[in-house]
Structure 1
Amino acid sequence: MIRTFQFVRNKCLRFWMDGFQVKLSEVNAEATRVRHNSEFPWAGKLESSAAQAASERAMSAIRRFYENRKAKIPGNIGFPKFQKNNRSVEYKVAGWKLSPDRKRITCTDKFKAGTFKLVGTYDLNFYHLKAIKRVRIVRRSDGYYCQFCIAVERNISIEPTGRAVGIDVGLAKFYTTSDGQTVDNPRHLRTAERSLKRAQRRVSSKFRRPNKGEKVKQSNNYKKACKWLGKKHLTVQRRRKDFVAKTAKALLESSDFIAYEKLNVKNLVKNRKLSKSISDAAWTQFTDWIERYGMLYKRPVVAVPPQYTSQDCNECGTRVKKTLSVRTHICPKCNLVIDRDENAALNILVKGLNQAGLALNLSTSGHEGINAWGQNSLYFVGENLQDKLTG
């Protein structure tokens, strides 16, 4: 099922590449033609809604390529590529069936994969069957997972805190807020690196290197070693996601307004000395979760450009050039001494408030006393934050 799903997606992409000026609706119709093509009889076993989902994935890659080209993004604009190791198959309202107790799922297409027991803490009895819009079966290193896309409204109301913060992400500290609070960088990959290297050495020792021009079948021990290595990486991935999601949620629940810098991580990881640490920090994933919880809690979240946020003095605006090794901001004009990341977070907050159209008044002294929103040194002029944001 998964491999056929990948085949249909790649066929739709090839159809677009051959024509290149075809409409996206024609790409969707290509999935139907592939299913009914006598040359690929096994492709007809895939349920029609799954074939449509495969064509939608191809169209999503094509649409993203056109949007990047229209925006004139420098460098690689993401030309669509063929998938070589797809790990999921997606169904819409057909192709699957739940048991009456919602504890088992049956694949009803012609592949006859059978019935599978659902193990997990979520109870599907709370939702109507018509509310389940998509079902995705995902293969991972430790087994197969079933994901349900359910159309429900989540109304979460939390009390306003009257706090607005700017956050500056980094490597020494995961992030620093404009009021001086910091969160340590857990460095999940660095922590598990020793175990990962041992698993990788085991994979290398079991690999049978073929001679030139011949194919060698790998042993079961090699496959077991690859599976063990995959589980190690999956553990790191899950720990990173859990930390990022919980940190973003706590930040949104304690703030009414958040401003963060929109970093181009794709260019930052080109630094060979810092690429591993930047990837391990998961800044993009963190900001994605902030935006997601911002929409869920109906809290304004603003992304600001990162230019000169670390160089400019938040007190007088003087631009003080400094390298990454300099961790303290010392202004030669106003004699302000403050942590580099906190200075950047304050600049990010000011940029975010200006971008959101909110008036801000910063006093010229007493930055050490900025601990929370509402103090005399940091406040909105003549209006309440919650009234401004909700009005």
Structure 2
Amino acid sequence: MIVLEFKLKGKAEQYRIIDDMIRTAQFVRNKALRHWVDNQGVKLVDLYKQCAIMAKEFEGAGKLNSMARQAMAQRAIFAIQRFFANCQTKKPGKKGYPQFKKHSRSVEYKTSGWKLSTDKRCLTFTDGFAAGTFRLLGSRDLHFSAPTEIKRIRVVRRADGYYAQFCINIERKEEPVSTGKTIGIDVGLNHFYTDSDGETVPNPRYLRQSEKALKRLQKRVCRKKKGSKSRKKAINKLGRKHLKVSRQRKDFAIKTALCVVKYNDFVACEDLQVRNMVKNHKLAKSISDAAWSQFAEWLEYFGKVYSKTVIAVPPQYTSQECSNCGNIVKKTLSTRTHICGCGTILDRDHNAGRNILAKGLKARAGINLNTVGHTGIHAGGQNDLYSLVATKQR
């Protein structure tokens, strides 16, 4: 599956109709979840039936396309399944009990309720809301995709406008070019990553760069009267700035991961539990700004596309163990140089990168490392459909 994204160009009245569509989709999803809460053990088929009942009872739900209502029921059942899966695996902390949505920003259509123009540059919604026709703005081309290959359309509201994401049933494959190189990657905060050859990529710190502007915009929001138009404008400006930072971070993660995969046949990285690491409130902002999880996801994705091997190894002792002799050299976080009794003197992250590569090569050879998670797997694990958008968000 690939996802192509376009910006929707329409009139102000059409955008207000899309807002109504999103609110109705949120209502359907919450009602489906309420039905599950009141009737434990219901299945997806039962929620589909409940959607048909809602269409008769509520006028707004009746306007929404039937498959769009079913997509909202799927969202509810996925949240329920994820909760039970976390309980079965005994995930530490909160298990993610399904919550009612208050501020949804998207609505999904399957194969009906919409229509593409003959030149595939316009999108028309044909359900009861009658939002009309929108121009599709973007650099991608839908002419290479047959209508039957488009399995789903997702309409997303962002701070800078409305977007349509086309989920296309195409397996993306690129011609692999063998380089014969292997690499181990140690991510960090001083440098975004340091590899096993000692090469470093600087950490861009996009959030830190925009922090002053964000604080200034946040102050403007606080000074405005609640409910006023000026406050809404200030909130929109703040949202646009946050959106720009997130896009910069994502663009950097995509391009960096692509370069790593294209120029190496084998990539070993750390299987970091970022969710636990951000509990350290002194480093949480910097860790979130670095976007290590996003980088790892794109490494796996491009590994599958280019038929390269990407292995995630456990990070334990990669910084403490000597990459030359294997002895443990205790270090604090402030100690940035690895000095071992065997005479090895390396940068701390360079030493860790060499250890990560060694662990990855052992995992590829099939040696049992008593590890968990993604260790020893070939890239290509299934990721959330919309977290791996195949185009840069515009």
TM-score normalized by structure 2?
Answer: 0.85
SS at match of 2:165: strand
Determine the C-alpha separation between the residues in 2 that align with 1:89 and 1:149: 13
SS at match of 1:53: helix
Determine the C-alpha separation between the residues in 2 that align with 1:14 and 1:154: 39
The answer to which of 317-326 and 140-149 deviates more is 317-326
Match of 2:388 in 1: none
Match of 2:274 in 1: 265
Q: CA deviation at 1:335?
A: 2.5
- Pairs within 5 Å for 1:1-391: 1-36=21-56, 38=57, 40-208=58-226, 218-332=227-341, 334-357=342-365
SS at match of 1:7: helix
Determine the C-alpha separation between the residues in 2 that align with 1:68 and 1:10: 21
The answer to which of 15-24 and 297-306 deviates more is 15-24
Which residue type is aligned with residue 110 of structure 1? G
Q: CA deviation at 1:41?
A: 2.1
Q: Structure 1 residues 315 and 220, CA, compared in 2 at 3 Å: closer, same or farther?
A: same
Determine the C-alpha separation between the residues in 2 that align with 1:32 and 1:262: 44
Which residue type is aligned with residue 335 of structure 1? G
Determine the C-alpha separation between the residues in 1 that align with 2:37 and 2:266: 45
- Which one has a bigger Cα radius of gyration? 1
Determine the C-alpha separation between the residues in 1 that align with 2:326 and 2:76: 48
Determine the C-alpha separation between the residues in 1 that align with 2:39 and 2:343: 64
Gaps of 5+ in 1: 209-217, 360-388
Aligned residue pair count: 348
Determine the C-alpha separation between the residues in 1 that align with 2:37 and 2:172: 41
Determine the C-alpha separation between the residues in 1 that align with 2:187 and 2:32: 40
Q: CA deviation at 1:23?
A: 2.9
Q: Structure 1 residues 338 and 222, CA, compared in 2 at 3 Å: closer, same or farther?
A: same
TM-score normalized by structure 1?
Answer: 0.86
Q: CA deviation at 1:307?
A: 1.2
- Check the 8 A contact 2:44/2:73 in 1, yes or no: no
Deviations 1:156-184 (A, max 9, x none): 11310111111111000001111111100
Q: CA deviation at 1:27?
A: 3.2
- Check the 8 A contact 2:272/2:314 in 1, yes or no: yes
- Of structures 1 and 2, the one scoring higher in RCO (CA 8 A, sep 6+) is 2
Which residue type is aligned with residue 61 of structure 1? A
SS at match of 2:163: strand
Gaps of 5+ in 2: 1-20, 368-378, 380-394
SS at match of 2:151: strand
Determine the C-alpha separation between the residues in 1 that align with 2:339 and 2:276: 28
Q: CA deviation at 1:358?
A: 6.0
